[in-house]
Amino acid sequence: MPRVCDITGKKTISGNNVSHSNTKTRRKFFPNLQYKKFWLEEEKRFVALRVTPKGMRTINKIGLAAALKRAKENGL
């Protein structure tokens, strides 16, 4: 399963570990994904999503239905 937020689309990015001697080796930065259940009022059921804290704030601000609609428009 890919490490991608269901709402915001944040995903793993790559960069460098830089040592004290300035040697660079490749590494990955993973998003802070959490499994969370949200109540979807339109369907009267819980929906389990894998979201980042920013995605949770987005859902709290605009609502779950609007956030899912926005994510679908963005191709997520």
Determine the Cα–Cα distance for residues 31 and 62; give it in Å rounded to an integer.
22
Determine the Cα–Cα distance for residues 11 and 15; give it in Å rounded to an integer.
13
- Find where tokens 């709402």 sit: 7
Q: Return the pLDDT at 1.
A: 75
Q: Return the pLDDT at 44.
A: 95
Query: Which residue ranges of the chain lie beneath pLDDT 70?
Result: none
Q: Return the pLDDT at 76.
A: 83
Determine the Cα–Cα distance for residues 14 and 25; give it in Å rounded to an integer.
11
Q: Return the pLDDT at 68.
A: 94
Determine the Cα–Cα distance for residues 46 and 37; give it in Å rounded to an integer.
6
